[in-house]
Amino acid sequence: MPLSTRAAIRRAIGEVTGWQIRGVTDSAGAADGTTIIDSTIYSKARDQHVRNRSVVCVTESTYRGQRRYATGPPSTAGAVTVSPAFGGQVATAMDYEIWLPDAPHPDQIDLCIDRALAEACWMWRPTPFSMLQYGDLVDDLTVSSADLVDADSTVIWDGTAVTPSVINLAPPDEFTRRAIRLTPSNATTAFTQGVTLEVDPDNRKQWWASALVRCNGAVTASLTVYDVTNAAAITLDEGTQTWTREGWGLLKSTFSLPTACEQIAVRINAPATGGPTVDFAWVQMQQREQTLFSLPSRVRSKRHVGPVFVRSGNYFGEFKRRPWSGTLERREAMGRGVTIELDPPPGSHSLWFYEKTGYPTLTSSTPAAADDDNSTWCPLEWLRTAALAECYRFLRRRDSKEQQGRWDEEYLETLGELEALQADYGIEPMLTQDSAMPSGVAILPV
């Protein structure tokens, strides 16, 4: 599906509502940045958009992203005066936007787009089961020095001699949401180690681990299960797990706990300094006879959990999915979030579940003009309508005292359109508390 930038989404909202005009300056504005000039503004019937408090935006070049208020209608020469001034002279041949003064401010529209992505537009995202905290390497983690940390700045993946970075991947060209890239930072083998797991020394049932990896050049990546108690690598039943190809592939093996081992961890290993980087997309680990899985804390209720499936294949292009042939029960445990109980246990199968989740937002923690280039694979028609509903909700609150009910008709009409689009793109109705069936349109590839 095509990607849409934040600028394109905002433009689509302006076009469908008539809130926005766009143009190109045909002369340089005042040297002090107080005007933009477009002499065609009258001939193209755009002048009615320009009034006191209309929002004028430069959308390219040096002053891109700056948004100022017009002080009144344009002059007969097409000069629009703004206050405060832009950062400097707005040159000729610069793209601009002007928004009606009673429309939401473009900053507010950007917030509405983010809110729609996070709360109104949903998808079923395939998520791997794993005993490892954040083994799916998704949105919850950020980079801090050599480590990957959660929202509370707790180290989840502890880096040694590496510089990690987050690589966002865009379906349908890729089959996973994002990856962690490891860049070695000294002359020894580099790795990042997951949170330590406490294991029962009297429970010696066989375990299973896997990781999806690719190499970015002629290099070797590997997966290690580490005996933290005895400070030694655990021998894997299928031998040393290494990968040397640039395409995605799976490292996997069963293993047993050594004597007196009470803590284990997983290491994903990169080459020494001077070699290319390696990417990891997920890391799974579980007991083969395990039946109860705790889901990530971001899964808020069992209604956010869809069907379970088995992923098979070892190489990109061979990955397939089929329904889990056993039964499952979703539970909401007080203080423990959501759990799933499987019958029978998964054995060595790579099990995944569908997680109902929003799309990533497009505004960075420090908003910048470049945020307009951030893109989403959420369908444009769906997102435009969802964001517009958020805009009308804002306008109803804003004008509730002076013009109560002014935006009600537009708001209700947009909600009706959004409900229709939800049926096309979003979540199918769930008939019972314990049922969930993903729509075929909004599932990300695996």
Answer yes or no: is 182 within a domain.
yes
Q: Which of 186, 181, 188, 190 is nearest to 213 (CA)?
A: 181
Residues 250, 214: Cα–Cα separation, whole Å: 9
Cβ neighbourhood burial of 440 (10 Å; 0-12, 13-18, 19+): exposed
For residue 139, what pLDDT band results from cuts at 50, 70 and 90? Answer: low
DSSP 158: E
Whether residue 352 is predicted with pLDDT greater than 80 in this model: the reply is: yes
230 and 352 fall within a common domain: yes
| Residue 437 scores a pLDDT above 70 | no
Model confidence pLDDT, tens digit, residues 244-302: 988 888 999 999 998 889 999 999 988 776 668 899 988 999 888 889 888 888 888 88
Please state, in angstroms and rounded to a whole number, the distance separating the CA atoms of residues 309 and 306. 10
> What token pair was written down for 144?
């801090």
**pLDDT tens, position by position, 309-336:** 888 887 767 778 888 888 888 888 776 6
Range of the domain at 290: 124-358
Which alpha helices (H) appear in 97-194, and where do they start and end? Answer: 106-115
| CATH code for the domain of 28 | 2.40.10
Among 33-47, 193-207, 227-241, the least confident range? 193-207
Phi-psi region of 381 (alpha: psi -120 to 50; beta: other; left: phi over 0): alpha
- The pLDDT of residue 274: 62
- What is d(CA 100, CA 96) in angstroms, rounded to the nearest whole number? 14
Mean pLDDT, residues 22-42: 95
Read off the pLDDT of each residue in 33-47 and give the average, rounded to a whole number. Answer: 91
Please check whether residue 382 lies inside any domain of the structure.
Answer: no
Tell which of 320, 343, 358 closes a domain. Answer: 358
Distances (CA, A) of 18 to 11, 194, 247: 10, 52, 47
Q: Is residue 259 a part of any domain in this protein?
A: yes
Q: What is the DSSP letter of 245?
A: -
Domain boundary among 308, 336, 358: 358
Work out the burial of residue 91: count CB atoms within 10 Å of its CB; fewer than 13 is exposed, 13-18 middle, 19 or more buried: middle
Q: Rounded mean pLDDT of the chain? A: 87
The pLDDT tens digits of the residues spanning 384-394 come to: 999 999 999 99
At residue 275, the pLDDT reads 67
CATH number at residue 292: 2.60.120.260
CA-CA distances (angstroms) from residue 372 to 7, 59, 79, 200? 5, 9, 26, 51
Task: Decide the pairing of beta strands 292-294 and 221-227.
Answer: unpaired
Same domain for 324 and 196, yes or no, is yes
- What's CA 31's distance to the chain center, in Å? 42
Q: Is 82 found in the same domain as 129? A: no
Pick from 393, 303, 435, 361: nearest CA to 114: 361
User: Do residue 158 and residue 54 come from a single domain?
Assistant: no
Q: Is residue 132 located within the same domain as residue 96?
A: no
Domain count, the chain: 2
Decide if pLDDT at 9 tops 70.
yes
Tell me, what's the pLDDT at 445? 40
| 133 or 168, greater pLDDT | 133
CA 396, CA 407: separation in Å to the nearest integer? 6
pLDDT of residue 170: 59
Per-residue pLDDT, 72: 95
Beta strands in 288-386 (DSSP E): 292-294, 305-312, 320-323, 327-333, 337-343, 350-358, 375-376
- pLDDT the model gives residue 171: 54
Q: In this structure, is residue 421 part of a structural domain?
A: no
Share of residues in the chain with pLDDT > 90 (%): 48
Work out the percent of the chain whose per-residue pLDDT is above 70.
90
Q: How confident is the model over 355-373, as pLDDT tens digits?
A: 888 888 999 988 889 999 9
> 33 with 182, same domain?
no
In a domain, 162, yes or no: yes
The answer to whether residues 281 and 350 belong to one domain is yes
Which helix (H) or strand (E) segment holds residue 19: the answer is none
Are 364 and 397 in contact by the 8 Å Cβ rule? The answer is no
Question: Mind listing the pLDDT tens digit for each residue in 72-129?
Answer: 999 999 999 999 999 999 999 999 999 999 999 999 999 999 999 998 998 787 888 8
Nearest to 58 by CA among 68, 48, 50: 68
Tell whether 232 and 128 lie within a shared domain. Answer: yes
pTM > 0.85: yes or no: no
Structural domain includes residue 171? yes
Q: Tokens in use for 18?
A: 């008539």
Residue 444 domain-assigned? no
Q: How confident is the model at residue 17 (pLDDT cuts 50, 70, 90)?
A: very high
The phi, psi pair for 9, rounded to 5°, reads -65, -45
Final residue before a domain boundary, out of 308, 339, 358? 358
- Is pLDDT at 446 greater than 90 in this prediction? no
Answer for the pair 67, 57: CB distance below 8 angstroms, yes or no.
yes
Task: Please indicate, yes or no, whether residues 222 and 279 belong to a single structural domain of this protein.
Answer: yes
Query: Average pLDDT for residues 342-360, to the nearest whole number?
Result: 87
> For residues 442 and 224, which has the higher predicted lDDT (pLDDT)?
224
Residue 441's pLDDT is: 45
- Quick one: pLDDT band at residue 138, thresholds 50, 70, 90? low
Spatial neighbors of 314 by CB under 8 A, at least 6 apart, are 249, 250, 252
Query: 233 in a domain, yes or no?
Result: yes
Q: Do residue 191 and residue 224 come from a single domain?
A: yes
Residue 88 contacts residue 30 (beta carbons within 8 Å): no
* Beta carbons of 36 and 16 less than 8 angstroms apart: no
Q: Do 50 and 175 fall within a single domain? A: no
Per the CB < 8 A criterion, the answer to whether 400 and 28 are in contact is no
pLDDT in tens, 150-197: 888 899 999 988 888 888 765 544 456 678 899 888 767 788 999 999
Residue 300 and residue 249 in one domain: yes
